[in-house]
Amino acid sequence: MRIIPVLDLKGGEVVRAERGDRDRYRPIVTSLSASSDPVAVAEGLRRLHPFSTFYIADLDAIEGRAPNSAALARLRTMRDAPDLWVDAGLAEDEMLAAALAEAGINPVLGSESQRDEVLLRRFRDHPGLILSLDFFADGFRGPPSLLDQPELWPQRVIVMTLAKVGSAAGPDFARLKQIRAKAGSRLVIAAGGVRGEADIRELSSLGIAAALVATSLHDGTLTSGQMALLGG
């Protein structure tokens, strides 16, 4: 069971997510770092556990503003450069192709950013592509075909329950079970609501391959010792 820390980027800083209400996101305050600088936060997380992969939500790019390119470039030049799973609101053919060609970058195709299934249909077999099925408080956000046709899914699929993000309310186990049942041999990754070790163990028992985690790492409810035992 992999544990993948999340860095939500906005205005060049790491912000703390709150239930998908992006207008309320503010620069993170965490005992793991003296500042909200992306590299400082990533290094703080690595002092907690030797993470080899980080998930990056470039909130500015997702919402149509200038991407956090400088922050991403700095993260890529860290010592023992991590693999970066990056959701930057990609919705164009050329931009996705360019992202897939970059070493150390695994572009995340967020369903909320898609107009139709064309982009996913073209690139679904690329080993670097990750699909994020995005669920807000009002339900699935994106073309229905992305949710209803699992044959379109790439090898890795994130179930992003934004209403659970930063809530300490627990993962959306029911939805994860549904997606896992449809996914076949694909890897399903949980995102949103993980509170600690018990949630990680339950996700593992459901066949979930990994969990994207932020709040429980910064708040200390998922500890270094627990992650060592969990194999994260």
Q: What is the model's pLDDT at position 167?
A: 60
- Please state, in angstroms and rounded to a whole number, the distance separating the CA atoms of residues 181 and 160: 16
Q: What is the model's pLDDT at position 179?
A: 98
Exposed, middle or buried by CB within 10 Å (0-12, 13-18, 19+), for 210? buried
Q: What is the model's pLDDT at position 166?
A: 59
Q: What is the model's pLDDT at position 21?
A: 67
Q: What is the model's pLDDT at position 19?
A: 64
Q: Is the dihedral of CA 114, 116, 117, 120 positive or negative?
A: negative
Q: What is the model's pLDDT at position 23?
A: 73
- Please state, in angstroms and rounded to a whole number, the distance separating the CA atoms of residues 179 and 169: 20
pLDDT (tens, 9 = 90+) of the chain, 232 residues, equals 899 999 999 999 999 877 656 777 889 999 999 999 999 999 999 999 999 999 999 999 999 999 999 999 999 999 999 999 999 999 999 999 999 999 999 999 999 999 999 999 999 999 999 999 999 988 999 999 999 999 999 999 999 998 767 566 789 999 999 999 999 999 999 998 899 999 999 999 999 999 999 999 999 999 999 988 886 6
Q: What is the model's pLDDT at position 18?
A: 73
The structure's pTM equals 0.95
Q: What is the model's pLDDT at position 70?
A: 97
Using DSSP, state whether 206 is helix, strand or coil.
Answer: coil
Contact in structure between 196 and 169 (CB atoms under 8 Å): no
- Please state, in angstroms and rounded to a whole number, the distance separating the CA atoms of residues 188 and 76: 25
Please give the domain boundaries of the chain with CATH numbers for all domains. 2-230 (3.20.20.70)
